[in-house]
């Protein structure tokens, strides 16, 4: 059944302070809508229950990209078009710049925001694996002030997050300490473009004389929310990388992953593809002469 | 529950317009029903097919996913603003001449996506043409003639008949 536009109230206070006051005055009553690429689809399908919506679109206070030298701050209202077009993001967070090119079509990228992508909390969210392997932080804001938490602690369950009812996402902070790391991100969907992930895997790693001295791995669609793969990281950390080590890491990943069967893929396929992606990344870390 | 309509003002194809509409009404419906600009089509109604593509503040958007309240103060450009029958835009001329349109439902969206692409990238490669139009689905032409049309429009708008330019296929 198609949604009825008259059954929903949408207001635009026009300033961040105005939105925060509204949320503080009636916590839990208002749902924020940024570019609408998720909410308007639910609305069209007649499956949007939220009656009261507050618009974040056009709030300049949420749309910025700032480089502070040791990190990049990205306003939650920054669109994926903004991210794609920004030289500092391409240089400092290339995996995020890459993910931004995958998010739907140009028309979707013009409207979809990084804050919307994270708050929506899809297990398949395109920007999440990159943010996880960069150890990004998210900054939340309410009338009481701002607070920062690790992005890896933001999602608390399927479509659940650590934000209080009076809070909005304000910004994402990406540390710039990964320039020397090998970086990897690959998404596997039904088609090369314009398709939601069946599975996506990201990694950052530092090698010292063939030994894995740092490694961070994260995936989309292997759990109820995008998450780091800590057990697989632990299986690799401090080890001399070899075919045997790669084999063992793949096995650990197959155990650690908790994918589901759904409309887009099967748990078995996702587990297998994730292991293949991990293998691809780890082979890139091997010295050239040791590659198969 | 029925929400009171709001007065919303924006510019469409250079003309200032004001409509009274519920804030959640889709820009697509406001264009077609309130302003009678029926060139913009509805395909899927969920942001997948691009039939309803218009330009808003210099960016391509799916008008089915824009609640009209978010268009307050915006500059909107629809296919009606691109050209007229007596004075086609080079993009429209190229689609006509290269067979880039068949049933026509996707065409206004294709034209607007092309206008957006060429506004930011006047000399796209074939890969960039494909990416620029990736959000616009056509079930008639098989896309080749559409990409050919865009390439032809690029040459025409350049004013030079390039031989080494973009080739589709």
The token pair at A34 is 């940024």
Q: pTM here? A: 0.94
Instruction: List residues bridging with B16 in a β-sheet.
Output: B11
* Residue B165 pLDDT greater than 60, yes or no: no
Considering only CB atoms, A106 lies closest to which of B2, B22, B116, namely B116
Please judge whether B70 and A57 are an interchain contact, meaning their C-beta atoms are less than 8 angstroms apart.
yes
Inter-chain touch B23–A10, beta carbons under 8 Å: yes
Strand partners, A228: A218
B92: tokens are 């429209």
> How far is CA A2 from each of CA A15, A40, A115, B139, rounded to the nearest angstrom?
31, 11, 27, 24
* B168 and B129 Cβ atoms separated by less than 8 Å: yes
Q: How far apart are CA A203 and CA A208, in angstroms?
A: 16
pLDDT tens for each residue of chain A, 292 residues long: 578 999 999 999 999 999 999 999 999 999 999 999 999 999 999 899 899 999 999 999 999 999 999 999 999 999 999 999 999 999 999 999 999 998 889 999 999 999 999 999 999 899 999 999 999 999 999 999 999 999 999 999 999 999 999 999 999 999 999 999 999 999 998 776 777 888 999 999 999 999 999 999 999 999 999 999 999 999 999 999 999 999 999 999 999 999 988 888 899 999 999 999 999 999 999 987 777 7
The pLDDT, as a whole number, for residue B3 is: 65
Distance from CA of A189 to the nearest CA of B (A): 15
DSSP string, A198-221: EEEEEEEEEEETTEEEEEEEEEES
Q: Is pLDDT of B164 > 70?
A: no
The token duo for A108 is 């979707």
CATH class entry, domain A182-290: alpha beta
Can you say how many angstroms the Cα of residue A177 is from the centroid of all Cα atoms in its chain? 19
| Strand ranges inside B13-141, DSSP E | 15-21, 53-56, 59-62, 75-77
Q: Which of A61, A65, A114, A55 lies closest to A87, judged by CA?
A: A65
Q: Which two tokens stand for residue B68?
A: 């009209």
Q: Which of residues 70-109 of B touch A (CB under 8 A)?
A: 70, 72
Whether A150 contacts chain B with CB within 8 A: no
Domains of chain B: 6-82 (3.10.20.30), 90-158 (1.10.150.120)
**Which class does domain A5-55 fall in?**
alpha beta
Strand order in the sheet with A65-67: A65-67, A71-75, A168-175, A137-142, A145-150
d(C-alpha A168, C-alpha A125), whole Å? 18
Q: How far apart are CA A11 and CA B67, in angstroms?
A: 11
Task: Give A-chain residues touching B131 at CB under 8 angstroms.
Answer: 106, 193
Say yes or no for a CB contact (<8 Å) between A194 and B2: no
In this prediction, residue B73 has a pLDDT band, given cuts at 50, 70 and 90, of very high
Find the closest chain A residue to B29 by CA distance.
A5
B40 touches chain A (CB under 8 A): no
Q: Does the pLDDT at position B167 exceed 90?
A: no
- Residue A284: the pLDDT is 96
Q: What is the ipTM of this complex?
A: 0.92
pLDDT score recorded for residue A38: 94
Look at residue A1 in the predicted model and tell me its pLDDT: 58
Domain with CATH 3.30.465.10 in chain A: 60-175
Torsion of CA A33, A35, A36, A38, to 10 degrees: -100
Distance of CA A162 to the CA centre of its chain: 15
- Most B-contacting residue of A106, A108, A113 (CB-CB within 10 A), to test interface: A106
Domain A60-175: which CATH class? alpha beta
Based on the number of CB atoms within 10 Å of its own CB, is A26 exposed (0-12), middle (13-18) or buried (19 or more)?
exposed
pLDDT per residue over B13-32, tens digit each?
A: 999 999 999 999 999 999 99
Q: What integer pLDDT is reported at residue B161 of this predicted model?
A: 44
- Please give, rounded to a whole number of angstroms, the shortest distance from the CA of B34 to a CA of chain A: 15
Check residue B2 and give its pLDDT: 56
| pLDDT higher than 60, residue B168 | no
Backbone angles phi, psi at A279, to 5 degrees: -60, -40
pLDDT score, position B1 = 47
Q: Mean pLDDT, chain B, as a whole number?
A: 92
pLDDT score of B162: 47
> Where does CATH 3.30.43 sit in chain A?
5-55
d(CA A260, CA A113): 27
Instruction: Check A55 against B65: CB less than 8 A apart.
Output: no
User: Where does CATH 3.30.390.50 sit in chain A?
Assistant: 182-290
User: What distance in Å separates the CA atoms of residue B87 and residue A63, rounded to the nearest whole number?
Assistant: 39
């Amino acid at each position: 059944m198609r949604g009825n536009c008259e059954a929903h109230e949408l207001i635009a206070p026009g300033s961040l302070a105005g939105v925060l006051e509204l949320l503080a005055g009636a916590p839990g009553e208002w749902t924020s809508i940024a570019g609408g690429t998720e909410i308007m689809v639910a609305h069209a399908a007649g499956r949007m229950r939220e009656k009261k919506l507050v618009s974040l679109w056009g709030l300049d206070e949420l749309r910025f990209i700032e480089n502070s030298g040791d990190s990049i701050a990205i306003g939650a209202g920054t669109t994926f078009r903004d991210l794609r077009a920004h030289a500092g993001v391409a240089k400092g967070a290339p995996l995020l710049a890459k993910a931004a090119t995958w998010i739907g079509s140009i028309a979707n990228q013009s409207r979809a925001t990084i804050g919307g992508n994270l708050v929506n909390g899809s297990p398949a969210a395109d920007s999440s694996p990159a943010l996880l392997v960069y150890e990004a932080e998210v900054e939340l804001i309410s009338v009481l002030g701002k607070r920062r938490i690790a992005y890896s602690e933001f999602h608390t369950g399927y479509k659940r997050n650590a934000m209080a009812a009076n809070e909005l996402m304000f910004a994402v902070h990406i540390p710039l300490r990964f320039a020397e790391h090998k970086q990897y991100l690959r998404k596997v969907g039904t088609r090369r473009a314009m398709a939601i992930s069946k599975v996506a895997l990201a990694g950052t790693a530092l090698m010292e004389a063939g030994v894995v001295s740092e490694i961070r791995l994260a995936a989309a669609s292997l759990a109820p929310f995008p998450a780091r793969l800590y057990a697989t990281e632990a299986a690799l950390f401090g080890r001399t990388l070899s075919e045997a080590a790669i084999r063992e890491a793949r096995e650990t990943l197959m155990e650690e992953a908790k994918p589901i069967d759904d409309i887009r893929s099967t748990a078995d396929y996702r587990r297998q593809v994730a292991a293949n992606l991990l293998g691809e990344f780890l082979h890139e870390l091997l010295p050239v002469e040791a590659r198969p | 529950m029925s929400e009171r309509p709001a007065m919303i003002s924006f510019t469409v194809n250079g003309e200032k317009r004001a409509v009274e509409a519920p804030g959640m009404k889709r820009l697509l419906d406001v264009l077609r029903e309130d302003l009678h600009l029926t060139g913009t089509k509805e395909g899927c109604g969920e942001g997948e097919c691009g039939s309803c593509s218009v330009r808003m503040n210099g960016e391509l958007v799916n008008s089915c996913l824009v609640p009209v309240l978010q268009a307050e103060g915006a500059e909107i450009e629809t296919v009606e603003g691109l050209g007229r029958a007596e004075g086609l835009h080079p993009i429209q001329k190229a689609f006509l001449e290269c067979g880039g349109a068949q049933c026509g439902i996707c065409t206004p969206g294709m034209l607007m996506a092309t206008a957006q692409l060429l506004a930011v990238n006047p000399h796209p490669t074939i890969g960039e043409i494909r990416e620029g139009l990736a959000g616009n689905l056509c079930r008639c032409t098989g896309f080749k003639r559409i990409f050919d049309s865009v390439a032809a429009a690029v040459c025409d708008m350049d004013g030079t008949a390039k031989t080494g330019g973009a080739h589709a296929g």
